[in-house]
């Protein structure tokens, strides 16, 4: 069997789709599925709309010699992949890891509602409505939709997609290749976070919490890995509340990100929206104690005081208290880390994904 993977990102690009694609390239052939990748990065330099047409032609050409196509998002690669699959009468599978319309609405069109409310409420922005219609259309024409959490299954179902078409397959972390740990000029203990610098990742609140925690742990430092549209605003806030002993690294390679995580004492993700955080899986697999929120699919992986400390979103005081607690209690850190790593190891392997893909072709 031959499968085309239509992905928005591919190494050397950074991000979840790039990491997930390399995982599929490595694991699926062992299950009898040969993989060909068509990356949107190859056409991203072209003007809008033109790039989507040329991407469609690339998917179409590759799909002629393949049995099915798996699109890793419902819009940028999903729409061209859907058109190619329909023309060749071949199955389209779709991976959904978030609500693209909501994310764009939050960043560009004044959407303030949380995702759970957004999917149930008519939107005023015509462009947001267009994105909603697009992702729903692509999802409705896919033979199978794969999501990494029960939470996202609920979200996609709220688009109007029958639950019988949606399968939950949890992602698995890949921590097999870790770069060399390097000095960042920060003191210990060190809190690390890895996230896009967008409002719902709660970076500003995390900085506030670290500043509060320094009353009890003066040497506490913060390492922020990632980039995004809010970087300048967040750097200005850091100068005010943290002043020193923090660092924005920008985007790092996957290997270097894992190395920086492993060299830290605690991983924090202060998110108010998460379909299912892949970086939490990686933190758990690396044996890092975790402080995060129960947002979205996080609660399917983590349980408060069992394998992580969970705090309400946008609660700087609770986050600061949890950072202090986890850093001042070595026994707690060891217990949480052990149970989180055990939980990740219990998740289904790539065989579940191979079986699902094979059943759709």
* Domain coverage including residue 355: 2-172+348-359
Q: Are residues 201 and 333 in the same domain?
A: yes
Q: Are residues 310 and 202 in the same domain?
A: yes
pLDDT for position 261: 96
Q: CB-based burial of residue 124 (10 Å sphere; 0-12 exposed, 13-18 middle, 19+ buried)?
A: exposed
What would the mean pLDDT of 281-304 be, rounded to a whole number?
94
Q: Are residues 196 and 161 in the same domain?
A: no
Instruction: List, for residues 147-185, the tens digit of each pLDDT value.
Output: 999 999 999 999 999 999 999 998 888 888 899 988 899
Q: What are the structure tokens assigned to 276, written together?
A: 């299912």
What's 279's domain CATH number? 3.40.50.2000
CA–CA dist 344, 285 (Å, integer): 7
Asked if the structure places residue 178 within a domain, the reply is: no
Number of domains forming the structure of the chain: 2
What would the mean pLDDT of 225-244 be, rounded to a whole number?
96
Q: What is the pTM of this model?
A: 0.88
Asked if the structure places residue 180 within a domain, the reply is: no
Instruction: List, for residues 316-361, the tens digit of each pLDDT value.
Output: 999 999 999 999 999 999 999 999 999 998 886 678 888 888 888 7
Q: Are residues 281 and 256 in the same domain?
A: yes
Query: Residue ranges of the alpha helices (H) in the chain?
Result: 16-27, 50-63, 78-88, 100-108, 115-118, 126-141, 150-158, 203-213, 231-241, 254-262, 278-285, 298-301, 316-328, 330-345, 350-359
Place of tokens 């991983």: 267
| Confidence class for position 14, pLDDT limits 50, 70, 90 | confident
Q: For residue 225, what are the β-bridge partners?
A: 194, 250
pLDDT for position 348: 64
Q: Are residues 209 and 298 in the same domain?
A: yes
What would the mean pLDDT of 112-135 be, rounded to a whole number?
94
Q: Are residues 111 and 207 in the same domain?
A: no
Rg (CA), the chain: 21
What DSSP string describes 157-210?
Answer: HHTT--GGGEEE-------S--------S-PSSEEEEE--SSGGG-HHHHHHHH
Asked if the structure places residue 177 within a domain, the reply is: no
Asked if the structure places residue 317 within a domain, the reply is: yes
pLDDT for position 197: 94
Q: Are residues 65 and 121 in the same domain?
A: yes
Q: Are residues 141 and 210 in the same domain?
A: no
Q: Are residues 153 and 273 in the same domain?
A: no
Q: Are residues 60 and 114 in the same domain?
A: yes
Asked if the structure places residue 165 within a domain, the reply is: yes
CA–CA dist 236, 226 (Å, integer): 16
What would the mean pLDDT of 304-309 be, rounded to a whole number?
96
Q: Are residues 102 and 6 in the same domain?
A: yes
């Amino acid at each position: 069997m031959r499968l085309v993977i239509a992905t928005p990102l591919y190494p050397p690009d950074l991000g979840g789709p790039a990491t997930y694609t390399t995982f599929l390239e490595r694991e699926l052939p062992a299950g009898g599925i040969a993989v060909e990748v068509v990356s949107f990065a190859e056409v991203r330099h072209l003007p809008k709309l033109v790039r989507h047409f040329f991407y469609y032609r690339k998917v179409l050409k590759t799909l002629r010699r393949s049995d099915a196509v798996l699109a890793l998002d419902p819009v940028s690669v999903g729409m061209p992949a859907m058109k190619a699959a329909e023309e060749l009468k071949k199955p389209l599978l779709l991976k959904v890891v978030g609500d693209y319309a909501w994310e764009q609405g939050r960043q560009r069109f004044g959407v303030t509602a949380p995702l759970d409310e957004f999917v149930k409420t008519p939107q005023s922005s015509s462009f947001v409505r267009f994105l909603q219609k697009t992702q729903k259309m692509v999802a409705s024409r896919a033979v199978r939709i794969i999501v990494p959490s029960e939470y996202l299954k609920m979200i996609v179902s709220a688009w109007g997609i029958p639950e019988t078409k949606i399968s939950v397959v949890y992602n698995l972390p890949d921590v097999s290749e870790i770069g060399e740990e390097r000095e960042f000029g920060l003191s210990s203990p060190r809190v690390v976070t890895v996230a896009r610098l967008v409002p719902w990742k709660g970076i500003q609140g995390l900085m506030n919490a670290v500043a509060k925690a320094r009353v009890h742990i003066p040497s506490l430092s913060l390492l922020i890995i990632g980039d995004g549209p809010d970087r300048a605003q967040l750097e200005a806030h850091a100068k005010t509340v943290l002043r020193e002993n923090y660092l924005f690294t920008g985007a790092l390679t996957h290997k270097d990100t894992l190395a920086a995580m492993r060299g830290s004492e605690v991983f924090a993700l202060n998110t108010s929206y998460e379909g299912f955080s892949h970086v939490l899986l990686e933190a758990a697999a690396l044996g890092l104690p975790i402080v995060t929120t129960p947002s979205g699919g996080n609660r399917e992986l983590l349980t408060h005081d069992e394998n992580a400390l969970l705090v309400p979103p946008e609660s700087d005081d609770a986050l600061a208290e949890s950072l202090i607690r986890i850093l001042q209690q070595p026994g707690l850190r060891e217990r949480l880390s052990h149970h989180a790593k055990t939980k990740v190891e219990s998740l289904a392997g790539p065989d579940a994904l191979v079986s699902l893909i094979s059943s759709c072709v």
